[in-house]
Every structure is written in C-alpha cells, then in structure tokens.
Structure 1
Amino acid sequence: MRRKARRGGGRQVEVTIDALGGRGDGIAAYEGKPVFVPFALPGETVRVRLTGQRAGGYKAEVLEVLDAAPERVEAPCPHFGPCGGCTVQHLDAEAYRRWKHDQVVQALNRRGFDEPPVAETVEVGEGTRRRAALAAVREGKRVRLGFHGRESHRIENIEECRILTPPLVALLDPLRAAMAEILDERETAEVALLESESGIDLLLQTRQPLGLTARQALAGLAESEDLARIAWAPAGPEGAVAEAEPVAMRRPPLLTFGEVSVEPPPGAFVQPTAAGEAALVATVSGWLAGVEGSVADYFAGCGTFAFPLSRRGPVHAVEGAETAIAALWQAARKNDLAGRMTAETRDLANDPPTPEELDAFAAAVFDPPRVGAKELAEALADSKVPVVAAVSCNPHTFARDARTLVDGGYTLAEVWPIDQFPWSGHVELAARFRR
C-alpha cells in the first residue's frame, strides 16, 4: 500500500509496529519514544513521516507499507482513511475481536486487576447504528455533510456509511440538499440524527438563528422524507445542547424502554444501537432480577434501565439533564408508574449522593458519560449497597471506578464487553460488583 506524501512534513523514517493502540493507531518506537501511526498494524514495517508531537512521542503518517501484516484486509468503505469515524476497517475480523476484548482487559490490568473476569465480546453488526452526530459546511453551492477527519476540522463528505442504519444513510442526500438552502457560504452546522421507532428525529444546531427560508426548507425536508420531528438549537460547546425549539413535528419520536414508550428530548443520549441496548438491558436486568428492595438508577437518561427494572420493584431514577428526566417522568405518569418510580434531577459530579442516602437501596446501577462516575463510585465504596451494576463506554474510566469500588470492599464479579461501535476504538461494557 502506498500513500502520497504530503509536502512540508517532518523526518521520514522506517519503523516496525509493535502494538495496536486504543484509538486504532499502530504504535512503534523511534529514538526511545513512541510513534503513533494511523492505519498501520502490529508486525508491519512502514515508512512514515513524523508530523508532530503526541503523548511524549511522535505523530506520524504512513508513506508506504513495506511489509504488510497477514491480518491486513481491504477496508470495505470508500471513505475509510479521510473519515474519522472508523479507524480499523483494515484489520481482519478475528484480530479485531481480540483487540476489542483486550481493550477492556488491559484497562483493568493497569488498575491492578491481574486476571479480570472479562467475558467474550458481544458483537453488534454493521448497519445498526441508529444515532449519529454529523457536521456540515457550505462551500459555494455545495454542502459537505459527514464526519470530521481524524484530528481534523475537515469534514469528509459521506455518500455511504457501513455503520449507520439504512434509513439514516438514505437521508444523507436529501439532508445535504436542504442544508444548501439553510447555510450561508462557509457557515457550519451540527446535525444529530436518531432513528426512533416512529421515524427519524433531527436536531440542527447553527450559530445563527433560523430565518424563514431555512424553516421552510426544514419543513419541506420533514414532509418529503416523512421525518418524525425536526428541532433547532443554537450551537454551543462540543456535546452541549441548549434548549431546542421545534421546527417541524409530524409525530412524536418514540423509543420503548421495557414496555414503556418514551418521547426523548431533541439531542438526548440513547444507546447507539437497539441491539446493543437490548444486550445491556438484558444483562443488567438479569443481574438484579432477584434483588428485593429499591434500586437506584444513576445517570438514568430517559429511562433505558429504569423502566425495565421497574418490573421487578421500585426504582429511583437520577439524571443531571432536566429535559431527559422530564421525559422519563412524563412517561412514568402516563403508564401509571408514579407509585413505583421516583425521579430526581441531580448533578452527580458536583452533588453525589451520600453513603447514607445510598444505604436505602438494595442495588445501584450507573451508566455515566465517558468521564466516568468518580464521585459516585467513591460514595458507593463507603456505602452498604450490596450489588452494583455498572455500564460504561470508556474502559479506562470504568477501570478507575472499579478500582475505587473494589478498594471499598466490593468484588468485581463479571464484565461483559459489548461492541456497539464497529471498527472504532470505542467499546461498551457492563459489569457486576457485589459485597
């Protein structure tokens, strides 16, 4: 494989790749420092150009693969490389499975778990991702719509995608055409898509308020593509969603948690795939099936775990996002669950529960963002809660929190990796702790 060299780069060197890092980079050594090489695999000898500094070592780009690894395969997506969404499509299936599993094992090893009880990875297939965050920019009469390149602000214009569900892929061209009517020259936007059970939910974020032409374009898109809802919010810090206003509502977007239909707010967090969510819910519900007493569900979102768990007994749902907990509580009241469920809005990083509050529960569940649940884990470690089920999308922050729980008297009983993020460095997991 040969790649065209970029002008103005740094030194060109030959290195041998020793390992595959957590982000999918090949890792080599040069002058006693690590070299991070995207699209290179362990065992390969590659000629690279050093392009910058990273983590006490060097960033590099591949100029030529001199000796390819037997695990190298042809990437199935034409956008592989420029698109930052998938980083390891060039790795064969068996090596890929080992790498995902090892991500969890190695994170726990680094926190002192020598032989962690990590099960085989549950795999979720391609073409199943129902949630996506896209970026758009207008360039003349053309709109680039897709994912950012790796460590880049450049947007790869996506024509097809192997990970998104077919309805989301089918929306790309009509959405691109609508964005051409909405955006000014060089104006950017962020688009969050969710394929709900009643249709696609779209949240558009721009820096400028929507004018009449933009609103008409979005209404036309909702009509022509039969979207469930379109909402708009001003662009804010990365990952933040300000209060959204509806632009077009044909019907409420709905998701079913347990047997309860919930209308998530625009841009709400939900599990990226329905199959992955089902695996996580079945695992956590099975672990807590025999628990007698109330269960606390922290970082509850819109009720992914709270509603299925409410079948077995009382649940107290806690979430920092007011719009998410409002959606949860509205669904609970509509389904006559107000006597079995309670809900609380709480910033769990700055106002975690006290050990005394936690002692009222027979079990606790938590599913935090990528930064983990450091403060909650510390409180649980000082509590008497007998069973904890943890869900995480970041093995490293999970391992940190697991160390806290085990140092506080818990035993890490089992860990189940669930791969909802094909061909990327991300991996989900569920874990059970007991006293």
Structure 2
Amino acid sequence: MKPFPKRPVAKRRPPAEPREFDVAITDIGARGDGLATVEGARLFVPLTVAGDRVRVRVTDPLDAATAKGEGVRADLLAVLEPGPGRGDPACRHFGRCGGCTLQHLSADAYRAWNVSLVQGCLARVGLGDTPLEPLACTPPGARRRARLAALKRGKRVWLGFNERQSHRLVDLEECPVLTPRLFALVEPLRALLAVVLPDGDGCDIVLNDLEGGIDLLLVGPRHLERGARDALALFEPDAVARIAWKADDRSGVEPVANRRPAAIRFENVPIVPPPGAFLQASAAGEAALVEAVRGAIGGAGRVADLFAGIGTFSIPLSEQNAVHAVEGDVEAVAALSRVVQGRRLTVERRDLFEQPLTAKELGRFDAVVFDPPRAGAAAQAETLAASKVPLVVGVSCNPATFARDARKLVDGGYRLTTVRPVDQFLWSAHVELVGVFTR
C-alpha cells in the first residue's frame, strides 16, 4: 500500500519588523480611526483627527495589505502637529477605554463626523444626494443603558468596559456618558461582586435606568451559589428596583429581587420591560427618534411597526394611528401585550428575519415603520420593495446596513426623501438615523 502523500507545508512569512512613519491624517473612518496612506497602503490610526501630522508604528506588512486592498492598523506614537478638529477628552480613561472612540474631537468636528458618516454610507449605494435634516445631539450623562464587564482576581474586582480591541478591562473611576444614577452603582457593585464571583471568574452586568429605579441583570457566573444569591438579593443601594441573574446570554432569566415596580413610559403609558431589555440608549435620543417617526407617519390610517420591541414607536403612534406591532422576542411581546387594552394597538410575535411580512400582507397597511438590529432587515426590505405600501419609515443604529436596505427599497420604486441623523451613542462610532421613503 502506497503511503499517503505529504501535504505541502505553506511557508510562513516571517513577522515584519516594526516600522515608523510620519503621516498626515486625511479623514476619520467609519469606526472612528484616522485614515492615512503610506507606500500605497491605507493606515487606520486611532485617536487622530483630520489634519493631524503624526508619527505611527506599523507592525503588519504593508505590501500584503496593499495587494489585498485592505488597511493596516497603526499605533499612534506622537502628534507632531495637531489638526484643527482636536478637542480635550472629557474622561481620564479615554484612549484606553473602548467605550468611547471620539472624545478627542472638538464639538464641531464631532458633529460634522456624525453627519459625514451617514452621508458616506448613503453615497456608497448611490443615494448621496438624499437631503439630511439637522443632527439631533445627546448630552453627556444621559446614557441610561449600559453593559459593564467584571473580573475578579484575588480580592480585587475590575469593573468597567474593555480596552480598545482587547479583553482587558478598564477599571472605571469616572464615566461622563452614563447617567449619574448608573455610575453611582459602580463602587457598590465592585463590593458585591467580590462576594458573588469566584476567584478568576467574571460576568457582565446589564443596567437599565428606569422609572422607579435601576433594573440590574447579572449575566454570569455560570453557577450562583447560595451565599452569592443571598448577597445579590440583599444588595443595598436604594436606587436598585429589580435584580435578576442568568448563567449566560442563552440561558433563561431567574428573578432574584423585585423591590418595587420599574417601568419606562411611552406617551405616559408605563411598560414593565423584561430584565435587561433593549431600550433606546438615552431619553433624549429616543425623543428625537419618536418625533421624527411620528412626523413622517402623520395621519396614515393603519401602520405596521416591524421589530417593535417593547413599543418605543408603537405606543406613541397608537395615539393617532391604528398600529400592528410585530416583534420576535417573546418577553418583549408579552410586555407590550399587557398594555394594548383600550388602545388601537395589536401585537404579533413573528421572527421577521426568518418570516418577513410578505408583499401581500404589507398591502393591508398605509405605512410601515421598521427598526431592526444592527444587522439590518435584508429579508424584510426585499418584501417591502415588492409591496405597494405608500410610506415606509426606517430607523437604524447602523448607517451601513440601512444604506444597503435603502438601496433595495429605491430599486423597488421608492424614493428616499429625507434622513434625520441622531447622535444617541455619545463619542462612539455609532450613529442612529430615521429615513423616510415614499412611492
């Protein structure tokens, strides 16, 4: 029997020697990094602004990146000559903490970048001439939802956000983004997790600042021992209204303490969200989005609200329109269903990624609102493009996937009449928007 032939072994490219360059930053990319070019390769340089002259270190081979049409990450060594858009960061952790990427921009440069990100994404799909309304801005100290990470080593607990492009934690000493009530929990949580977490273990903490108090969901550790459960239940801060735990993101939620009702109001209608529920990141951002959606929908008779969540748009719209809310998450559907009585609002549970509303089903509506996750709504956009709905309003936290879906609608006969950018994720590389389509 002949032996199997040996597979050829690919020769490994020896690691490139680090090289230093002085470069000019020409723009800021979609992820918040400055852009420069050296030896035909694009460089991504964090913490820089357009107009900077900087010294950088590059460790990846430039020729390979150029051949593939890709970019190379560079480390910032020094700002040789600052650009006109530089500002003073608001937080001592900026530069290490991955929660914010754009605090080094001046206020004007930061607002201009938000708008240019939306414009650039639309331009890439041939919709760059779409009129943009003024940017809606969110102030510091307004972020009412956060997911922190924690890690215990010995007697110390690190609690905060991950460093940029790293699993290492920045131990929070301040945060100008979070609401004061959320940040006030950091030190008490650190003491709590010293008891709850086994040595060497970690967890995530999802915090929602609600009417009535803070909703606290612990994601991990994998097992919650009796002593840890008791410590969680007895967590003292009066600001905490409700506490729950789950082993991981795929596990069911176990209530631990329910001290008093915690709700969020839409048009003065209180909704009790499930533990760790998705909310718009800030009240100011939510208000701007709702105002834009309501203004676009106007007096449309029957409206479908797709990816409805717990009713951010469904409930306000139901004040003047008949609304059919469609959502895939069972707990969100249950929360919204509890407030339909006496309102022109119906609720349907349906996975719109696997089973989008068909063009025939959409034909029952005078207008459609869709607000999908960051991945967008590719399948639903296809059926919307084939429908006869006269008015479609798209809400998105990802201008790139919105632009992809918008292109499908425009190719199907719609016109994108206007886009409203909303800066809801302060100093991050994320921009929310509302786009209006008409036939």
In structure 1, what is the equivalent of residue 110 of structure 2?
96
In structure 2, what is the equivalent of residue 302 of structure 1?
310
Alignment partner for residue 157 of structure 1, among 142, 160, 171?
A: 171
The answer on whether the counterparts of 2:385 and 2:409 sit within 8 Å (CA) in structure 1 is yes
Aligned: 1:417 with 2:421: yes
Larger Rg computed on CA atoms: 2
Written as runs of structure 1 = structure 2, the 5 A alignment for 1:270-289 is: 270-289=279-298
Give 1:242 deviation, angstroms. Answer: 3.2
Aligned: 1:229 with 2:242: yes
- AA at the equivalent of 1:317: A
Written as runs of structure 1 = structure 2, the 5 A alignment for 1:21-420 is: 21-52=29-60, 56-221=70-235, 223-236=236-249, 242-292=251-301, 294-333=302-341, 336-337=342-343, 340-420=344-424
Identity value in percent: 51
Unmatched 5+ stretches in structure 1? 1-7
Q: CA RMSD in A?
A: 1.5
The answer on whether the counterparts of 2:272 and 2:335 sit within 8 Å (CA) in structure 1 is yes
Instruction: Give, in whole Å, the separation in 1 of the partners of 2:374 and 2:347.
Output: 23
Residues 333-358 of structure 1: per-residue CA shift (max 9 Å, x gap): 4xx33xx2221111111111110000
Residues 212-231 of structure 1: per-residue CA shift (max 9 Å, x gap): 1211221222x333411010
The answer on whether the counterparts of 1:200 and 1:228 sit within 8 Å (CA) in structure 2 is yes
Give 1:17 deviation, angstroms. Answer: 1.1
Q: Which region of structure 1 is more displaced relative to structure 2, 357-366 or 63-72?
A: 63-72
Q: The residue matched to 1:167 in structure 2 has which SS?
A: helix
Unmatched 5+ stretches in structure 2? 1-15
Aligned residues: 418
Residues 363-399 of structure 1: per-residue CA shift (max 9 Å, x gap): 1001110011111111011001111111100000001
- AA at the equivalent of 2:182: L
Instruction: Give, in whole Å, the separation in 1 of the partners of 2:84 and 2:312.
Output: 41
Instruction: Give, in whole Å, the separation in 2 of the partners of 1:329 and 1:134.
Output: 30
Instruction: Give, in whole Å, the separation in 2 of the partners of 1:303 and 1:73.
Output: 38
Q: The residue matched to 1:224 in structure 2 has which SS?
A: coil
Give 1:67 deviation, angstroms. Answer: 1.4
The TM-score with structure 1 as length reference comes to 0.93
Instruction: Give, in whole Å, the separation in 1 of the partners of 2:117 and 2:282.
Output: 20
Q: The residue matched to 2:274 in structure 1 has which SS?
A: coil
Give 1:52 deviation, angstroms. Answer: 4.2
Over 3 Å counting, the alpha-carbon distance change for 1:66 and 1:160 in structure 2 is same
